[in-house]
Copies of this chain bind each other. A is one copy, B any other.
Amino acid sequence: MAEQKQQQRISGDRLQAFIASAFEAVDVPRDDAKTIAQLMAQADINGSEGHGVFRLPQYVRRIKGKAINVRPNIRVERELAAMALVHGDNGMGHLVMKFAAEKAIEKAKTAGVAWVGARWSNHAGPASLYATMPLAHNMIGLYMAVGSANHLPPWGGLDMLLSTNPIAVAVPAGDEPAVILDMATTVAAYGKVKTKAQRGEMMPEGWMMDRTGNPLTDPKRANEGFLLPIGGYKGYGLALVIGMLAGNLNAAAMGRDVIDFNNDDTSETNTGHAIVAINIEAFQDLKEFKSGMDMLIRDIRNSQRLPNVDRIRLPGDGTHVARADREKNGVPIPEALLAALDQLAGDLKIAKLPR
Protein backbone atom coordinates (compact mmCIF):
# COMPACT_ATOMS: atom_id res chain seq x y z
CA MET A 1 0.00 0.00 0.00
CA ALA A 2 2.91 2.32 0.78
CA GLU A 3 4.03 1.74 -2.78
CA GLN A 4 0.58 2.62 -4.14
CA LYS A 5 0.50 5.95 -2.30
CA GLN A 6 3.53 7.11 -4.24
CA GLN A 7 1.79 6.25 -7.51
CA GLN A 8 0.14 8.86 -9.64
CA ARG A 9 -3.66 8.81 -9.29
CA ILE A 10 -5.71 9.42 -12.40
CA SER A 11 -9.47 9.94 -12.30
CA GLY A 12 -11.63 7.35 -13.98
CA ASP A 13 -13.06 9.98 -16.32
CA ARG A 14 -9.65 11.08 -17.56
CA LEU A 15 -8.56 7.49 -17.94
CA GLN A 16 -11.67 6.68 -19.94
CA ALA A 17 -11.27 9.72 -22.21
CA PHE A 18 -7.64 8.84 -22.90
CA ILE A 19 -8.45 5.21 -23.74
CA ALA A 20 -11.28 6.31 -26.05
CA SER A 21 -9.01 8.74 -27.89
CA ALA A 22 -6.43 5.99 -28.41
CA PHE A 23 -9.01 3.67 -29.97
CA GLU A 24 -10.39 6.47 -32.15
CA ALA A 25 -6.85 7.10 -33.35
CA VAL A 26 -6.71 3.56 -34.75
CA ASP A 27 -10.03 3.92 -36.54
CA VAL A 28 -12.43 2.47 -33.99
CA PRO A 29 -15.80 4.28 -34.38
CA ARG A 30 -16.41 6.88 -31.67
CA ASP A 31 -19.29 5.07 -29.95
CA ASP A 32 -17.41 1.78 -29.87
CA ALA A 33 -14.26 3.50 -28.60
CA LYS A 34 -16.30 5.02 -25.80
CA THR A 35 -17.88 1.68 -24.88
CA ILE A 36 -14.53 -0.11 -24.76
CA ALA A 37 -12.95 2.76 -22.80
CA GLN A 38 -15.75 2.76 -20.26
CA LEU A 39 -15.34 -0.97 -19.63
CA MET A 40 -11.53 -0.80 -19.47
CA ALA A 41 -11.59 2.12 -17.05
CA GLN A 42 -14.16 0.24 -14.99
CA ALA A 43 -11.75 -2.69 -14.79
CA ASP A 44 -9.12 -0.36 -13.30
CA ILE A 45 -11.62 1.19 -10.92
CA ASN A 46 -12.65 -2.29 -9.76
CA GLY A 47 -9.03 -3.14 -9.00
CA SER A 48 -8.53 -5.52 -11.95
CA GLU A 49 -5.33 -3.69 -12.95
CA GLY A 50 -4.05 -6.48 -15.13
CA HIS A 51 -7.07 -6.11 -17.41
CA GLY A 52 -7.60 -2.36 -17.66
CA VAL A 53 -5.52 0.39 -19.26
CA PHE A 54 -2.48 -1.86 -18.78
CA ARG A 55 -3.70 -3.77 -21.87
CA LEU A 56 -4.14 -0.67 -24.05
CA PRO A 57 -0.76 -0.72 -25.84
CA GLN A 58 -1.27 -4.41 -26.64
CA TYR A 59 -4.80 -3.89 -27.98
CA VAL A 60 -3.57 -1.02 -30.16
CA ARG A 61 -0.69 -3.17 -31.43
CA ARG A 62 -3.12 -5.93 -32.36
CA ILE A 63 -5.47 -3.50 -34.09
CA LYS A 64 -2.55 -2.07 -36.07
CA GLY A 65 -1.52 -5.63 -36.96
CA LYS A 66 -5.01 -6.29 -38.36
CA ALA A 67 -5.51 -9.00 -35.76
CA ILE A 68 -8.68 -7.23 -34.57
CA ASN A 69 -11.49 -5.93 -36.76
CA VAL A 70 -12.36 -2.31 -35.85
CA ARG A 71 -15.62 -2.34 -37.84
CA PRO A 72 -17.17 -5.63 -36.77
CA ASN A 73 -20.68 -6.73 -37.59
CA ILE A 74 -21.47 -8.23 -34.20
CA ARG A 75 -24.61 -10.29 -34.60
CA VAL A 76 -26.78 -13.12 -33.37
CA GLU A 77 -26.07 -16.20 -35.49
CA ARG A 78 -28.51 -18.57 -33.85
CA GLU A 79 -31.12 -18.19 -31.17
CA LEU A 80 -33.89 -19.88 -29.28
CA ALA A 81 -35.95 -18.73 -26.30
CA ALA A 82 -33.12 -19.28 -23.81
CA MET A 83 -29.94 -19.11 -25.86
CA ALA A 84 -28.10 -17.22 -28.52
CA LEU A 85 -24.83 -17.71 -30.31
CA VAL A 86 -23.14 -14.39 -30.99
CA HIS A 87 -20.70 -13.96 -33.87
CA GLY A 88 -18.20 -11.31 -32.82
CA ASP A 89 -16.82 -10.80 -36.33
CA ASN A 90 -13.40 -10.53 -34.69
CA GLY A 91 -14.29 -7.28 -32.94
CA MET A 92 -12.90 -6.14 -29.60
CA GLY A 93 -14.03 -8.61 -26.93
CA HIS A 94 -15.54 -5.83 -24.82
CA LEU A 95 -18.01 -4.95 -27.58
CA VAL A 96 -18.87 -8.58 -28.23
CA MET A 97 -19.44 -9.46 -24.60
CA LYS A 98 -21.44 -6.34 -23.78
CA PHE A 99 -23.69 -7.26 -26.69
CA ALA A 100 -23.88 -10.87 -25.49
CA ALA A 101 -24.62 -9.91 -21.88
CA GLU A 102 -27.41 -7.57 -22.94
CA LYS A 103 -28.89 -10.32 -25.09
CA ALA A 104 -28.76 -12.76 -22.16
CA ILE A 105 -30.45 -10.26 -19.85
CA GLU A 106 -33.18 -9.55 -22.40
CA LYS A 107 -33.92 -13.23 -22.94
CA ALA A 108 -33.84 -14.08 -19.22
CA LYS A 109 -36.61 -11.55 -18.62
CA THR A 110 -39.09 -13.83 -20.36
CA ALA A 111 -37.40 -17.24 -20.39
CA GLY A 112 -36.21 -17.04 -16.76
CA VAL A 113 -32.66 -18.07 -17.65
CA ALA A 114 -30.59 -17.43 -20.77
CA TRP A 115 -27.21 -18.70 -21.92
CA VAL A 116 -25.43 -16.73 -24.64
CA GLY A 117 -22.25 -18.03 -26.22
CA ALA A 118 -19.85 -15.97 -28.31
CA ARG A 119 -17.24 -16.89 -30.90
CA TRP A 120 -14.90 -14.91 -33.13
CA SER A 121 -14.42 -12.62 -30.17
CA ASN A 122 -11.23 -11.36 -28.50
CA HIS A 123 -9.83 -10.79 -25.01
CA ALA A 124 -12.55 -8.89 -23.15
CA GLY A 125 -10.85 -7.87 -19.89
CA PRO A 126 -11.85 -9.17 -16.45
CA ALA A 127 -14.58 -11.80 -16.22
CA SER A 128 -16.40 -9.87 -13.50
CA LEU A 129 -17.16 -6.97 -15.89
CA TYR A 130 -19.72 -9.16 -17.65
CA ALA A 131 -20.85 -11.38 -14.78
CA THR A 132 -21.94 -8.21 -12.94
CA MET A 133 -24.01 -6.79 -15.82
CA PRO A 134 -27.14 -8.80 -14.89
CA LEU A 135 -27.03 -7.50 -11.28
CA ALA A 136 -28.83 -4.25 -12.10
CA HIS A 137 -31.71 -6.33 -13.47
CA ASN A 138 -32.01 -8.40 -10.30
CA MET A 139 -30.36 -11.30 -12.03
CA ILE A 140 -27.43 -13.54 -11.22
CA GLY A 141 -24.61 -13.41 -13.77
CA LEU A 142 -22.25 -16.21 -14.69
CA TYR A 143 -19.36 -15.78 -17.14
CA MET A 144 -16.77 -18.17 -18.53
CA ALA A 145 -14.07 -17.76 -21.13
CA VAL A 146 -11.29 -19.52 -22.92
CA GLY A 147 -8.18 -17.65 -21.83
CA SER A 148 -6.07 -15.88 -24.44
CA ALA A 149 -2.84 -17.86 -23.96
CA ASN A 150 -2.16 -21.48 -23.00
CA HIS A 151 -0.03 -21.75 -19.87
CA LEU A 152 -1.56 -24.88 -18.34
CA PRO A 153 -0.91 -28.50 -19.34
CA PRO A 154 -3.31 -31.36 -18.58
CA TRP A 155 -2.66 -32.83 -15.11
CA GLY A 156 0.48 -34.95 -15.34
CA GLY A 157 1.38 -33.50 -18.72
CA LEU A 158 3.80 -31.04 -20.27
CA ASP A 159 2.01 -29.73 -23.37
CA MET A 160 0.28 -26.45 -22.66
CA LEU A 161 -3.12 -27.24 -24.15
CA LEU A 162 -5.15 -25.23 -21.65
CA SER A 163 -5.45 -21.67 -20.53
CA THR A 164 -6.23 -20.26 -17.09
CA ASN A 165 -9.88 -20.35 -18.20
CA PRO A 166 -11.66 -18.02 -15.78
CA ILE A 167 -15.11 -18.18 -14.26
CA ALA A 168 -17.02 -15.36 -12.62
CA VAL A 169 -20.31 -15.47 -10.75
CA ALA A 170 -22.10 -12.37 -9.43
CA VAL A 171 -25.03 -12.67 -7.04
CA PRO A 172 -27.00 -9.65 -5.81
CA ALA A 173 -27.90 -9.17 -2.15
CA GLY A 174 -30.12 -6.66 -0.33
CA ASP A 175 -28.31 -4.22 1.97
CA GLU A 176 -25.05 -6.10 1.62
CA PRO A 177 -22.88 -5.61 -1.47
CA ALA A 178 -23.15 -8.22 -4.22
CA VAL A 179 -21.03 -11.34 -4.02
CA ILE A 180 -18.63 -11.32 -6.98
CA LEU A 181 -16.40 -14.33 -7.53
CA ASP A 182 -13.87 -13.85 -10.34
CA MET A 183 -11.17 -16.48 -10.53
CA ALA A 184 -8.71 -18.16 -12.83
CA THR A 185 -8.60 -21.93 -12.53
CA THR A 186 -4.86 -21.77 -11.89
CA VAL A 187 -3.33 -20.98 -8.49
CA ALA A 188 -1.86 -17.77 -9.91
CA ALA A 189 -2.77 -15.88 -13.06
CA TYR A 190 0.11 -15.43 -15.50
CA GLY A 191 0.04 -11.68 -14.92
CA LYS A 192 1.01 -12.25 -11.30
CA VAL A 193 4.08 -14.16 -12.44
CA LYS A 194 5.09 -11.26 -14.67
CA THR A 195 4.64 -8.82 -11.79
CA LYS A 196 6.91 -10.92 -9.58
CA ALA A 197 9.56 -10.94 -12.32
CA GLN A 198 9.35 -7.15 -12.70
CA ARG A 199 9.81 -6.70 -8.96
CA GLY A 200 12.70 -9.18 -8.80
CA GLU A 201 10.79 -11.30 -6.28
CA MET A 202 10.57 -15.09 -6.07
CA MET A 203 7.25 -16.93 -6.38
CA PRO A 204 5.90 -19.14 -3.58
CA GLU A 205 5.95 -22.89 -4.24
CA GLY A 206 2.68 -24.05 -5.78
CA TRP A 207 2.33 -21.36 -8.44
CA MET A 208 4.44 -23.03 -11.12
CA MET A 209 6.19 -26.32 -11.88
CA ASP A 210 9.15 -27.00 -14.16
CA ARG A 211 9.29 -29.66 -16.85
CA THR A 212 10.73 -32.24 -14.45
CA GLY A 213 7.83 -31.83 -12.06
CA ASN A 214 9.73 -29.74 -9.51
CA PRO A 215 8.53 -26.42 -8.07
CA LEU A 216 9.56 -23.40 -10.12
CA THR A 217 9.96 -20.30 -7.95
CA ASP A 218 12.08 -17.97 -10.09
CA PRO A 219 9.64 -15.96 -12.22
CA LYS A 220 12.44 -15.09 -14.68
CA ARG A 221 12.44 -18.79 -15.59
CA ALA A 222 8.67 -18.81 -16.17
CA ASN A 223 9.03 -19.89 -19.79
CA GLU A 224 10.75 -23.09 -18.60
CA GLY A 225 7.63 -24.26 -16.80
CA PHE A 226 3.90 -23.90 -16.49
CA LEU A 227 1.16 -22.77 -14.15
CA LEU A 228 -0.44 -25.17 -11.68
CA PRO A 229 -4.20 -25.62 -11.47
CA ILE A 230 -6.08 -25.10 -8.18
CA GLY A 231 -6.61 -28.36 -6.32
CA GLY A 232 -4.41 -30.35 -8.71
CA TYR A 233 -6.48 -32.55 -11.04
CA LYS A 234 -9.66 -30.78 -9.97
CA GLY A 235 -8.52 -27.41 -11.27
CA TYR A 236 -7.37 -29.11 -14.48
CA GLY A 237 -10.87 -30.56 -14.83
CA LEU A 238 -12.48 -27.18 -14.19
CA ALA A 239 -10.24 -25.41 -16.71
CA LEU A 240 -11.08 -28.12 -19.23
CA VAL A 241 -14.87 -28.06 -18.88
CA ILE A 242 -14.95 -24.25 -18.79
CA GLY A 243 -13.01 -24.37 -22.05
CA MET A 244 -15.57 -26.78 -23.50
CA LEU A 245 -18.51 -24.62 -22.42
CA ALA A 246 -16.99 -21.32 -23.59
CA GLY A 247 -14.97 -22.71 -26.50
CA ASN A 248 -16.08 -26.03 -28.02
CA LEU A 249 -19.80 -25.38 -27.58
CA ASN A 250 -19.50 -22.15 -29.58
CA ALA A 251 -17.07 -23.56 -32.17
CA ALA A 252 -14.51 -21.11 -30.79
CA ALA A 253 -10.80 -21.84 -30.34
CA MET A 254 -9.87 -24.35 -27.66
CA GLY A 255 -6.82 -26.50 -26.95
CA ARG A 256 -4.23 -26.48 -29.73
CA ASP A 257 -6.12 -23.71 -31.59
CA VAL A 258 -5.69 -21.06 -28.90
CA ILE A 259 -3.45 -18.19 -30.06
CA ASP A 260 -1.11 -16.60 -27.49
CA PHE A 261 -2.28 -13.01 -27.88
CA ASN A 262 0.69 -11.75 -25.88
CA ASN A 263 3.09 -12.89 -28.58
CA ASP A 264 1.07 -12.42 -31.73
CA ASP A 265 -0.15 -9.12 -33.14
CA THR A 266 -1.56 -10.37 -36.44
CA SER A 267 -3.67 -13.54 -35.97
CA GLU A 268 -7.38 -13.74 -35.32
CA THR A 269 -7.97 -15.57 -32.05
CA ASN A 270 -11.59 -16.78 -32.35
CA THR A 271 -11.94 -16.32 -28.60
CA GLY A 272 -14.97 -17.97 -27.01
CA HIS A 273 -16.99 -16.81 -24.02
CA ALA A 274 -20.28 -17.67 -22.35
CA ILE A 275 -22.57 -15.50 -20.29
CA VAL A 276 -25.58 -16.75 -18.34
CA ALA A 277 -28.28 -14.54 -16.83
CA ILE A 278 -30.59 -15.99 -14.18
CA ASN A 279 -33.75 -14.06 -13.40
CA ILE A 280 -34.17 -14.44 -9.65
CA GLU A 281 -37.87 -13.54 -9.63
CA ALA A 282 -38.59 -16.56 -11.81
CA PHE A 283 -37.46 -18.73 -8.89
CA GLN A 284 -38.74 -16.89 -5.84
CA ASP A 285 -39.80 -13.62 -4.29
CA LEU A 286 -37.00 -11.13 -4.85
CA LYS A 287 -37.18 -9.56 -1.39
CA GLU A 288 -36.96 -12.93 0.28
CA PHE A 289 -34.00 -13.90 -1.85
CA LYS A 290 -32.21 -10.69 -0.97
CA SER A 291 -32.86 -10.96 2.74
CA GLY A 292 -31.66 -14.57 2.63
CA MET A 293 -28.48 -13.41 0.92
CA ASP A 294 -27.97 -10.67 3.50
CA MET A 295 -28.34 -13.19 6.30
CA LEU A 296 -25.87 -15.59 4.73
CA ILE A 297 -23.34 -12.83 4.06
CA ARG A 298 -23.62 -11.50 7.62
CA ASP A 299 -23.36 -14.97 9.12
CA ILE A 300 -20.12 -15.44 7.19
CA ARG A 301 -18.73 -11.98 7.91
CA ASN A 302 -19.44 -12.28 11.63
CA SER A 303 -18.27 -15.87 11.98
CA GLN A 304 -15.44 -16.90 14.29
CA ARG A 305 -11.93 -16.31 12.94
CA LEU A 306 -8.73 -18.30 12.95
CA PRO A 307 -5.94 -16.83 15.10
CA ASN A 308 -4.30 -13.83 13.38
CA VAL A 309 -7.09 -13.39 10.84
CA ASP A 310 -8.42 -9.83 11.05
CA ARG A 311 -11.61 -10.31 9.07
CA ILE A 312 -13.58 -12.82 7.04
CA ARG A 313 -14.00 -11.75 3.44
CA LEU A 314 -16.68 -12.45 0.87
CA PRO A 315 -15.76 -12.78 -2.81
CA GLY A 316 -16.00 -9.27 -4.24
CA ASP A 317 -14.99 -7.43 -1.05
CA GLY A 318 -11.71 -6.40 -2.66
CA THR A 319 -13.58 -5.02 -5.66
CA HIS A 320 -15.97 -3.02 -3.52
CA VAL A 321 -13.10 -1.51 -1.51
CA ALA A 322 -11.08 -0.71 -4.63
CA ARG A 323 -14.09 0.89 -6.32
CA ALA A 324 -14.94 3.12 -3.35
CA ASP A 325 -11.33 4.30 -3.12
CA ARG A 326 -10.73 4.81 -6.83
CA GLU A 327 -14.00 6.52 -7.59
CA LYS A 328 -13.00 9.08 -4.96
CA ASN A 329 -9.23 9.27 -5.35
CA GLY A 330 -8.56 8.04 -8.86
CA VAL A 331 -6.81 4.97 -10.23
CA PRO A 332 -3.17 4.45 -9.19
CA ILE A 333 -0.99 4.09 -12.29
CA PRO A 334 2.59 2.82 -11.89
CA GLU A 335 5.39 4.96 -13.38
CA ALA A 336 6.34 2.33 -15.94
CA LEU A 337 2.78 2.11 -17.25
CA LEU A 338 2.47 5.93 -17.37
CA ALA A 339 5.63 6.04 -19.44
CA ALA A 340 4.27 3.37 -21.80
CA LEU A 341 1.00 5.29 -22.17
CA ASP A 342 2.88 8.53 -22.88
CA GLN A 343 4.82 6.75 -25.57
CA LEU A 344 1.60 5.33 -27.01
CA ALA A 345 0.12 8.85 -27.06
CA GLY A 346 3.16 10.04 -29.00
CA ASP A 347 2.87 7.17 -31.48
CA LEU A 348 -0.84 7.82 -32.00
CA LYS A 349 -0.42 11.61 -31.99
CA ILE A 350 -3.05 12.07 -29.28
CA ALA A 351 -2.92 14.11 -26.08
CA LYS A 352 -1.06 12.47 -23.20
CA LEU A 353 -3.01 11.14 -20.24
CA PRO A 354 -3.39 14.28 -18.06
CA ARG A 355 -2.03 13.99 -14.50
Interface of A toward B, CB cutoff 8 Å: 78-83, 85, 107-108, 110-115, 117, 140, 153-159, 161, 169, 171, 179, 181, 183, 187, 211-213, 230-235, 237-238, 240-241, 244-245, 248-251, 254-256, 278-280, 282-284, 288-289, 292-293, 295-296, 299-300, 303-309, 311-315
- Contacts A278-B249, A289-B248: A159 and B112 contacting too (C-beta < 8 A)? no
Nearest B-chain residue to A171, judged by Cβ: B244
Specify which chain B residues have a CB less than 8 angstroms from the CB of A114 in the assembled complex. Answer: 82, 113
Alpha-carbon distance between A254 and B292 when the two chains are bound, in angstroms: 9
- Oligomer copy total: 2
User: Are B158 and A306 in touch, CB under 8 angstroms?
Assistant: yes
User: Are A303 and B153 in touch, CB under 8 angstroms?
Assistant: yes
User: Are A306 and B213 in touch, CB under 8 angstroms?
Assistant: yes
Q: From B171, B230, B278, give the contact of A115 (CB < 8 A).
A: B278
Alpha-carbon distance between A184 and B130 when the two chains are bound, in angstroms: 26
Alpha-carbon distance between A179 and B244 when the two chains are bound, in angstroms: 10
- Contacts A158-B304, A169-B241, A245-B169: A283 and B250 contacting too (C-beta < 8 A)? yes
Q: From B111, B113, B304, B315, give the contact of A241 (CB < 8 A).
A: B315
- Contacts A140-B245, A299-B255: A82 and B82 contacting too (C-beta < 8 A)? yes
User: Are A249 and B283 in touch, CB under 8 angstroms?
Assistant: yes
Nearest B-chain residue to A167, judged by Cβ: B238
Specify which chain B residues have a CB less than 8 angstroms from the CB of A181 in the assembled complex. Answer: 237-238, 240-241
Specify which chain B residues have a CB less than 8 angstroms from the CB of A255 in the assembled complex. Answer: 295-296, 299-300
Specify which chain B residues have a CB less than 8 angstroms from the CB of A250 in the assembled complex. Answer: 283-284
